[in-house]
Amino acid sequence: MQSLDEGTVEALQLRAPAVSKRDTAYQTKKTRLGHLFPEINDIAVRSAVEQRLLLVEDRIPSLFSLTKDLRYLEAPTAQVL
């Protein structure tokens, strides 16, 4: 988690690299250029992180996406209560 910076979170949130060719290309390019996880200098570690991210089939969550998702739950929840 030390290598996780705000720019990386913003760039990856809501993406699903395993199911979206566009997200795969974006994530691969940004990781290899060092724009994602800029604190990771070890090529083997960077490659391992890249490969793990490519397995993510669901949207990559963040606090931003959580707040967006909660908006959709507010109305149904209010009706139940």
In a domain, 34, yes or no: yes
Burial category of 75 from C-beta neighbours within 10 Å (exposed 0-12, middle 13-18, buried 19 and up): exposed
State if pTM tops 0.85. Answer: no
Encode pLDDT of 13-62 as tens digits.
999 999 999 999 999 999 999 999 999 999 999 899 999 999 999 988 88
In a domain, 1, yes or no: no
In a domain, 74, yes or no: yes
Question: Domain total for the chain?
Answer: 1
State the pLDDT at residue 25: 96
In a domain, 38, yes or no: yes
Instruction: Give the residue carrying structure tokens 């199911």.
Output: 19
With cut-offs at 50, 70 and 90, classify the pLDDT of residue 69: confident
In a domain, 57, yes or no: yes
Task: Show the domain range for 45.
Answer: 6-80
Query: Tokens representing 62?
Result: 């963040």
Stretch (H or E) spanning 70: helix 63-80
With cut-offs at 50, 70 and 90, classify the pLDDT of residue 10: very high
Torsion on CA atoms 17, 15, 20, 24, rounded to nearest 10: -40
Query: Tokens representing 33?
Result: 């250029």
